[in-house]
A and B are shown apart, each in its own frame.
Chain A
Amino acid sequence: MPEDRTIQELGLDEYKFGFHDPEEYFFKTPRKGIDPEIVAMISKHKNEPEWMLEFRLKALESFFEKPTPQWGGDLSEMNFDEIYYYIRPMENQGRTWNDVPEDIKNTFEKLGIPQAERESLAGVGAQYESEVVYHSLKEEWEKSGVIFMDMDGGLREHEDIVKEYFGTIIPPDDNKFAALNSAVWSGGSFVYVPPGVHIDIPLQAYFRINAENMGQFERTLIIADEGSYVHYIEGCTAPTYTSNSLHSAVVELIAKPGARIRYSTIQNWSHNTYNLVTKRGAAYKNATIEWVDGNLGSKLTMKYPAVYLLGEGARGEILSVAYAGDGQHQDAGGKVVHAAPNTSSLITSKSISRGTGRSTYRGLLKVHEGAVNSKSRVECDALLLDENARTDTYPYIEIEEKKVNTEHEATVSKVGEDQLFYLMSRGLSEEEAMAMVVNGFIEPIAKELPLEYAIELNRLIQLEMEGSVG
């Protein structure tokens, strides 16, 4: 394939990133489904310490014990026995771009990632199947003691730190999908930022599922030590297959006193993926945790990034945007728990629904007794692109403390005939007019992203909307 071909030229209508490489795997579990033997095989293959194997097996028990959630989205078609739980694509993790195999490079080329990233961005971790294949880190970060590697490498090289924090923010028995991830996790990122170190350029990882019927269970742990700052960016796009894929990640953030972590995600799963993710951060005294979360694609997404404000003066912010097209259900939102005085939080959720798409805002705001002078604001805005689209709001609020200030605001708007007419009268086609309204709607989120990701978010939404009008 000539190098200068673009995604548009590939002529893929339904799901624009639906190409896939021939499957060549170094290691794949011998059968679909999950049991203690498969879990032990994964752990052994990774040469893990005994405690991790025990962690996994205990988590597997929780997974079997816990019922499938009956709230949220429809999981009745989810068949856990039809999934390969571990695939490893190549022998060793690539350290430089030259080490990355050609077909994997091609995939990145089609996504338009490497050219831009290689030049302007210093650290790139990209997860291909279950292993990180490409990882580089700017020298000065290494000098200042920053650790940024895949989770498996983190466990091998920094076992003491991993053992101290792994599974402490999201215990394996937290929910059925966190339990599943804990049992079979592979890949993801491990980040440690030493006290006082500010990383100015975002750390980035690009995830991608390639094998049919393969679950992706990455596990990310980020620890920002006292007074440090890090912005981590994760992006995901999966190719299209006819049977259902499962993505179930766990992300744990720890912001120690005075630290700040920003975690940005743009996820664009193929339309048959179940995207069931548990994300949670703990913010200690005067620390800040921010989730910026963009959800596109997938068949069903259930994701509610959470911040636990555990120390006085801690702050949490969740910005979430979801696009639900035909046949998709985006069940997203955020959770904030105020457990200390003078803490503050802001949840901003924006959803777009089109055709038979459905978007749900599901949020929890909890203020514990003693969290005096806490402030919280929840704002959810839904945009409906046509008559059939649907949106629901479930804002759960539990307040045990009297001296608090909480606000909640919800709006639903439709792209109006007059609005489209106005834009079209200036020469924009109906499709362009619709895209402009949608891009404007998500602008408050897009402007929080680095420029190239904001552009990608707009472009992805445009791709999703193409051919949807008229």
Chain B
Amino acid sequence: MLKIENLQVEIDGQEIVKGLNLEIGEGEIHAIMGPNGSGKSTLANVLMGHPRYEVTDGAITFRGEDVFELEPDQRAKLGMFLAFQYPSEVPGVSVANFLRTAVNSVREEELSPMDMYRLIQEKMKIMQMDPKFAERYLNEGFSGGEKKRNEILQMLMLEPKLAIMDETDSGLDIDALQVVSKGVNELRGPEFSAVIITHYQRILRYIEPDHVHVMLDGRLVTSGGKDLALELEDKGYEWVRQEFGASAQS
């Protein structure tokens, strides 16, 4: 589904991702854990095609297609989705209007207004959102939890084949975390893959990963099953640094 080979990324001349390899199969959920500044968010943005990052080497293929030449909207149409850590505010554009436009952009055929209405209602119910929420302006004045729920709502509406979640769990209280996790588990199946980028092990209690990777200084330094996340929580990132720091710097 997704294959990343020797990915190297710079921003403003500074190397952030330094040769990263990762392969994600259909239906797999991968967690990428790592301390602040390890390059996790950069990876998320590069996968979706943020124009500010410069890919200096390596390759990313998604469902057999080289995505480097593709604009973010083309990647979305292929089935990629990024749940943002800091979603932008778009004043004057209602959530409902935005969802309608987005869904019709990625679909081959437009949904009828009635079907669209029903779909929005259905997905908002899953996310335990007040119907009035749809009339609010996109992310404007949203609390941190509302922004994250809204990201997952968009994911449910767009039904991507691969979702990249950039610290979706950060700043969420336990109730919001459960709702967000429920949203992700809703899509879980043989045709849905996800990359969960997180600092903490907490979210992985609700969304059980198939694979866990640890990122340090722009590389994945170790990988394992869900137990690795528990070990990490127990021993802390200092342990990772001591154990794998040397290989990351070499």
Contacts and interface: CB of A to CB of B under 8 A. Distances in A.
B92 A422 contact: no
A424 B70 CA distance: 11
Contacts of B93: 436-437, 439-440, 443
A155 interface: no
A419 interface: yes
Contacts of B75: 425
Nearest to B104: A427
Interface of A: 416-419, 421-430, 432-433, 436-437, 439-444
A426 B158 contact: yes
Given A421-B50, A441-B92, A432 B84 contact: no
B101 A428 contact: yes
24 contacts: A417-B52, A419-B88, A419-B89, A421-B45, A421-B48, A421-B51, A422-B84, A422-B90, A424-B73, A425-B49, A425-B81, A426-B73, A426-B102, A426-B106, A426-B154, A426-B158, A427-B105, A429-B71, A430-B71, A432-B105, A436-B98, A440-B93, A440-B137, A443-B93
Contact of A424 (B76, B87, B98): B76
Contacts of A418: 88
B77 A427 contact: yes
A404 B50 CA distance: 49
B88 A428 contact: no
Given A425-B76, A440-B93, 14 more contacts: A417-B52, A424-B73, A425-B48, A425-B72, A426-B76, A428-B101, A428-B102, A429-B105, A430-B73, A436-B98, A439-B93, A440-B92, A440-B138, A441-B92
B91 interface: yes
A251 to B, nearest CB: 28
B92 A432 contact: no
B82 interface: yes
Given A432-B101, A436-B98, A436-B101, A427 B76 contact: yes
Nearest to A381: B91
Contacts of B76: 424-427
Contacts of B45: 421
Given A417-B51, A421-B50, A428 B90 contact: no
Nearest to B81: A425
B90 A440 contact: yes
Contact of A444 (B89, B92, B101, B138): B92
A436 B92 CA distance: 9
A431 to B, nearest CB: 10
Contacts of A425: 48-49, 72-73, 75-76, 81-82, 84
B72 A421 contact: yes
Contact of A427 (B49, B51, B158): B158
Contacts of A444: 92
A432 B105 CA distance: 10
Given A417-B52, A427-B73, A427-B76, A422 B91 contact: no
Contacts of B105: 426-429, 432
A457 to B, nearest CB: 13
Interface of B: 45, 48-52, 71-73, 75-77, 81-82, 84, 87-93, 98, 101-102, 105-106, 137-138, 154, 158
Nearest to A424: B72
Contact of A440 (B52, B91, B106): B91
A418 B105 CA distance: 19
A193 to B, nearest CB: 33
A437 B90 contact: yes
Nearest to B105: A427
A416 B91 contact: no
A440 B93 CA distance: 5
Most chain B beta-carbon neighbours within 10 Å: one of A424, A426, A429: A426
Contacts of B98: 426, 436
Contacts of B51: 417, 421
A427 B107 CA distance: 9
A429 B90 CA distance: 16
Given A425-B82, A426-B154, A440-B137, A419 B90 contact: yes
Nearest to B154: A426
Contacts of A423: 88, 90
A441 B91 contact: yes
B94 to A, nearest CB: 9
Given A421-B50, A425-B76, A427-B105, A436 B88 contact: no
A421 B84 CA distance: 11
A77 B64 CA distance: 59
B120 to A, nearest CB: 14
Q: Which 5 A-B pairs have the closest CB atoms?
A: A440-B92, A443-B92, A427-B105, A440-B93, A426-B102
Contacts of B49: 421, 424-425
Contacts of A417: 51-52
Nearest to A350: B92
B95 to A, nearest CB: 12
Contacts of A429: 71, 73, 105
B44 to A, nearest CB: 11
Nearest to B103: A427
Most chain A beta-carbon neighbours within 10 Å: one of B50, B75, B77, B88: B88
A437 B49 CA distance: 20
A428 to B, nearest CB: 5
A62 B247 CA distance: 85
Contacts of B158: 426-427
